[in-house]
Amino acid sequence: MTRLFGTDGVRGLANKDLTVSMALSLGGAAADVLTADRKSSDLRPTAIIGRDPRVSGEMLAAALAAGMAARGVDVLRVGVIPTPGVAFLTDAYGADMGVMISASHNPMPDNGIKFFSTGGRKLPDVVEDKIEAAMTELSATGPTGTGIGRIIEEAPDAMDRYLAHLAESVPTSLAGIKVVVDTANGAAFEVAPAAYRAAGAEVIAIHDQPDAYNINDNCGSTHIEEVQQAVLEHGADLGLSHDGDADRCLAVDAEGNVIDGDQIMAILAVAMKEKSELRKNTLVATVMSNLGLKIAMEQQGIEVRETKVGDRYVLEELNAGGFSLGGEQSGHLVLPDHCTTGDGTLTGLKLMARMAETSTSIAELASVMKILPQVLINVPVENKSVIMNDERVLEAISAAEIELGSTGRVLLRASGTEELFRVMVEASESEHARKVAGRLAAIVASI
């Protein structure tokens, strides 16, 4: 049986895969599971619900709220706000649980439901499995009378609380910095420009007019060419590009060159080490991060801990090791001293603060790391599970690793959502990387 929860909550095509009835049941089951261990029965359990602007979020929020209220949970709807805003407000309001309705960088017709526990923390697999099991065990009736939860439609201070938290996290003045920000017509359409302006930056916002249908539509972090063009047009110092739920941030320099998540991690790791804020002089990254990041960090005396692909694995390693910085090449960075999940607006503030503190361009800051040419080939396969057990594949990988030596890397992994096997090769020369990747991909395709 296919697990309902994926690597980042429950996702699917809204009103087909992700239906109102499913959301109603999910809300009720989550309410039962996440409030089961409440220490005090004096006050009713509470939940926070936020969403991105896509049209299906309105109906899913209503269904989730109804499901929770039917199980005796009071619900505070905080409206359109980034995912990290929901995580923060779950803690700030002392709520028992939080819910974000968003499909992140996915197209508008998709949507997703992501839960947070007390303190705004993502759920481990075992708790998600309990919620999924509870969906089939929900009783037909819940509490009655005064036991039914209330649904509060507005939280007037939610945005202000979140903006104050961002300002407190990065108090550096950004006066003199001109930035273009692409909000993807998404959850950060108000927050990101407001936060950057409050810090003193001159802000040019693009794709900041959501209409319920245009989220991620040729804009945001998956279409960074939009912010590249705008930076050149406006003569800005840098550009920042967020995804639909604003837990990611990518950047471009004044010349329009992309600064990816690996480079942003390198910039912040060096800055934090200088301030003795990089605990254990360690950065947490996934196996997909460019080898150039690891080489650059070694030169700076910083250890890199590698995890499987996915921000949840980065979070697990950060929490287990007590580290203070981690992230992914996609621009999903986590700074546990300030947030419990990735926060794209916070990342943008930290990046510009480093520029302001050092009076240095983002291009110069990013030069601490040299990106090695990386080639990624997605190979359609019939059975992902047999690939890494095939002797031909193992022999080819071994030969490629010897050929590349210390200046290259090979990574083969199965896609988590499709019948694809991903072949990634890095080398000092792009042509060399393409040849090695092509050979490996051909072998995988033949199995």
Range with lowest mean pLDDT among 36-45, 150-159, 179-188: 36-45
Q: So what's the pLDDT on residue 40?
A: 57
Q: Model confidence at 179, in pLDDT bands (50, 70, 90)?
A: very high
Q: Output the CATH code of domain 161-366.
A: 3.40.120.10
Q: Class assignment of domain 10-155?
A: alpha beta
What percentage of the chain exceeds 70 in pLDDT? 98
Check if 406 is active-site: no
151 strand-pairing partners: 75
Arithmetic mean of pLDDT over the chain: 95
Res 37 pLDDT > 60: yes
Residues 236-288 have pLDDT tens digits of 999 999 999 999 999 999 999 999 999 999 999 999 999 999 999 999 999 88
> Same topology for domains 10-155 and 374-445, yes or no?
no
Residues 413-432 have pLDDT tens digits of 888 667 889 999 999 899 99
Residues contributing to the annotated binding site: 104, 243, 245, 247
Residue ranges of domains in the chain: 10-155, 161-366, 374-445
Residues 110-146 have pLDDT tens digits of 999 999 999 999 999 999 999 999 998 887 778 999 9
> Which one of the listed residues 104, 169, 221, 289 is annotated catalytic?
104
Q: Class assignment of domain 374-445?
A: alpha beta
Residues contributing to the annotated binding site for Mg(2+): 104, 243, 245, 247
Res 42 pLDDT > 80: no
Residues 342-381 have pLDDT tens digits of 999 999 999 999 999 999 999 999 999 999 999 999 999 8
Strands 151-152 and 121-122: unpaired
Query: If you average pLDDT over residues 394-414, what whole number do you get?
Result: 92
Q: Model confidence at 39, in pLDDT bands (50, 70, 90)?
A: low
CA distance 413 to 93: 41
Please state the three-class secondary structure of the chain as a single string. Answer: CCCCCECCEEEEEECCCECHHHHHHHHHHHHHHHCCCCCCCCCCCEEEEEECCCCHHHHHHHHHHHHHHCCCCEEEEEEECCHHHHHHHHHHCCCCEEEEECCCCCCCCEEEEEEEECCCEECCHHHHHHHHHHHCCCCCCCCCHHHCCCEECCCCCHHHHHHHHHHHHCCCCCCCCEEEEECCCCCCCCHHHHHHHHCCCEEEEECCCCCCCCCCCCCHHHCCHHHHHHHHHHCCCEEEECCCCCCCCEEECCCCCEECHHHHHHHHHHHHHHCCCCHHHEEEEECCCCHHHHHHHHHCCCEEEEECCCHHHHHHHHHHHCCCCEECCCCCEECCCCCCCCCHHHHHHHHHHHHHHHCCCHHHHHCCCCCCCEEEEEEECCCHHHHCCCHHHHHHHHHHHHHHHHHCEEEEEECCCCCEEEEEEECCCHHHHHHHHHHHHHHHHCC
Q: So what's the pLDDT on residue 2?
A: 73
105 residue type, one letter: H
Q: Model confidence at 1, in pLDDT bands (50, 70, 90)?
A: low
